[in-house]
């Protein structure tokens, strides 16, 4: 059982659970100080920090070593050889974690000082929660805001299966690991499969974890998700990697009876326009389209196309009615 501190509030006693904060790094020296300092400056102070470096080629190690003797830093692990998988680094950190709760704080992101406080208050409210995530800013390399999720005071909760079907099949609601904290007791052996992924492994990890637990969303913007030239997201779309791994992810969900084969085919069908738009190289585009189309039943496709056309006509008429 993870370390707990007993604290007296004005109205009640409550536990402060130890949070293990894992910071996996590779070549993010320009962002590391801000990342680590935003973690150490949290208002919620019952945490340990696990610093991991995957054989960076920049001066990341020099920066990490500056924090090695900090009282909150429990482990510093510097790889001599690159592991080839950020998700292998995740599991290395999780194996070292002393706390029941784990936060993968990615090395190029940062956060508000009350990130952990807000998240852990939600965990305190429901012991069936396995995963809590927050609203986020998307920023560029120098910190300019690109876009944000809606900023609200709401806290939404779902049963795990409902969350998966509503938020995690057609897209990944937890698009940045830094925005989420999870209870490691809900990790099962089946999550090992994410090590075979290069891009969509976190997506599958959240799904497999949520399958056995409740999930909550804190509407406050507490996380800063950095998009920059070293970020893999845009490259994964253009190369077709995202579409390849997304299909594998859907098949894993189908094999585990999380979604039906019909739902899998439907979401593959919905991705066809995105493939056509995002993959620029003709041969890669043709390969991805052929892979997706091989799974489809064209009678179903005609039906979905007809339903979409009807829905578009209904929306058009409703908009016209509102103008009257």
DSSP assignment of 137-154, as one string? EEE-TTS-EEEE----S-
pLDDT at residue 12 in the model: 36
Label residues 153-173 b or e (16+ Cβ within 10 Å = b).
Answer: eebebbebeebbeebbbeebb
In this structure, the answer to whether residues 193 and 245 fall within a common structural domain is: no
In this structure, the answer to whether residues 193 and 281 fall within a common structural domain is: no
User: Would strands 180-183 and 110-111 be described as parallel, antiparallel, or unpaired?
Assistant: unpaired
321 falls within a domain: no
124 falls within a domain: yes
Question: DSSP 3-state helix, strand, coil percentages of the chain (rounded to 5)?
Answer: 45, 20, 30
pLDDT at residue 321 in the model: 54
* Cβ pair 151, 221 in contact under 8 A: yes
320 falls within a domain: no
In this structure, the answer to whether residues 244 and 138 fall within a common structural domain is: no
* Cβ pair 20, 97 in contact under 8 A: yes
pLDDT at residue 224 in the model: 98
Label residues 22-32 b or e (16+ Cβ within 10 Å = b).
Answer: bbbbbbbbbbb
In this structure, the answer to whether residues 92 and 25 fall within a common structural domain is: yes
The region that residue 176 occupies, defined by phi over 0 for left and psi between -120 and 50 for alpha, beta otherwise, is beta
∠ CA 252-223-154, nearest 5°, is: 85
Which stretches of the chain drop beneath a pLDDT of 70? 1-15, 230-232, 311-324
* Cβ pair 264, 295 in contact under 8 A: yes
pLDDT at residue 309 in the model: 73
Return the structure tokens found at 60: 């990341």
Q: Tell which of 226, 257, 273 closes a domain.
A: 226
Of 182, 259, 250, residue with least CA distance to 213 = 182
Residue 308 makes CB contacts below 8 A (sequence gap 6+) with none
Report the distance separating Cα 215 and Cα 129, nearest Å. 6
* Cβ pair 257, 155 in contact under 8 A: no
* Structural domain of 244: 233-297
pLDDT at residue 16 in the model: 85
In this structure, the answer to whether residues 254 and 177 fall within a common structural domain is: no
311 falls within a domain: no
* Cβ pair 54, 126 in contact under 8 A: no
In this structure, the answer to whether residues 202 and 72 fall within a common structural domain is: yes
38 falls within a domain: yes
8 falls within a domain: yes
109: phi then psi, degrees, rounded to nearest 5: -105, 180
* Cβ pair 200, 249 in contact under 8 A: yes
In this structure, the answer to whether residues 217 and 268 fall within a common structural domain is: no
The region that residue 257 occupies, defined by phi over 0 for left and psi between -120 and 50 for alpha, beta otherwise, is left
- CB burial of residue 280 (10 Å; 0-12, 13-18, 19+): exposed
Return the structure tokens found at 41: 């400056």
pLDDT at residue 10 in the model: 33
In this structure, the answer to whether residues 62 and 46 fall within a common structural domain is: yes
**Which helix (H) or strand (E) segment is 162 a member of?**
helix 160-167
HSE value, Cβ hemisphere, 13 Å, CA-based, for 230: 14
CATH number (domain holding residue 152): 3.90.550.10
Q: What is the count of structural domains for the chain?
A: 2
In this structure, the answer to whether residues 248 and 154 fall within a common structural domain is: no
pLDDT at residue 231 in the model: 66
- CB burial of residue 202 (10 Å; 0-12, 13-18, 19+): buried
In this structure, the answer to whether residues 189 and 262 fall within a common structural domain is: no
In this structure, the answer to whether residues 199 and 57 fall within a common structural domain is: yes
314 falls within a domain: no
pLDDT at residue 323 in the model: 60
315 falls within a domain: no
């Amino acid at each position: 059982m993870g370390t707990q501190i007993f604290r007296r509030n004005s109205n009640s006693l409550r536990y402060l659970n130890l949070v293990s904060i894992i910071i996996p790094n590779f070549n993010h020296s320009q962002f590391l100080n801000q990342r680590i300092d935003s973690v150490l400056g949290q208002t919620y102070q019952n945490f340990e920090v696990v610093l991991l470096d995957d054989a960076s080629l920049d001066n990341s190690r020099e920066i990490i070593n500056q924090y090695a003797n900090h009282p909150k830093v429990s482990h510093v692990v510097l790889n001599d050889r690159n592991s080839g998988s950020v998700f292998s680094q995740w599991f290395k950190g999780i194996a070292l974690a002393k706390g029941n709760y784990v936060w993968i704080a990615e090395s190029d992101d940062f956060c508000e000082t009350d990130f952990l406080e807000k998240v852990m208050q939600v965990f305190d409210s429901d012991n069936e929660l396995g995963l809590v995530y927050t609203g986020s800013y998307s920023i560029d390399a120098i910190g300019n805001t690109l876009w944000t999720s809606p900023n609200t005071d709401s806290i939404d909760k779902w049963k795990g299966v409902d969350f998966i079907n509503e938020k995690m099949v057609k897209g990944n609601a937890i698009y940045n690991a830094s925005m989420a904290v999870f209870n490691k007791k809900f990790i099962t052996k089946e999550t090992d499969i994410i090590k075979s992924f290069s891009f969509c492994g976190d997506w599958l990890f959240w799904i497999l974890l949520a399958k056995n637990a409740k999930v909550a969303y804190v509407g406050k913007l507490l996380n800063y998700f950095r998009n920059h030239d070293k970020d893999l997201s845009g490259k994964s779309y253009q190369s077709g990697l995202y579409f390849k791994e997304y299909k594998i992810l859907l098949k894993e969900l189908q094999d585990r009876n999380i979604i039906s084969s019909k739902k899998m085919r439907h979401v593959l069908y919905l991705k066809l326009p995105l493939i056509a738009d995002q993959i620029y190289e003709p041969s890669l585009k043709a390969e991805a389209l052929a892979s997706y189309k091989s799974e489809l039943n064209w009678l179903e496709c005609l039906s979905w196309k007809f339903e979409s056309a009807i829905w578009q006509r209904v929306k058009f008429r409703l908009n016209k009615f509102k103008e009257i």
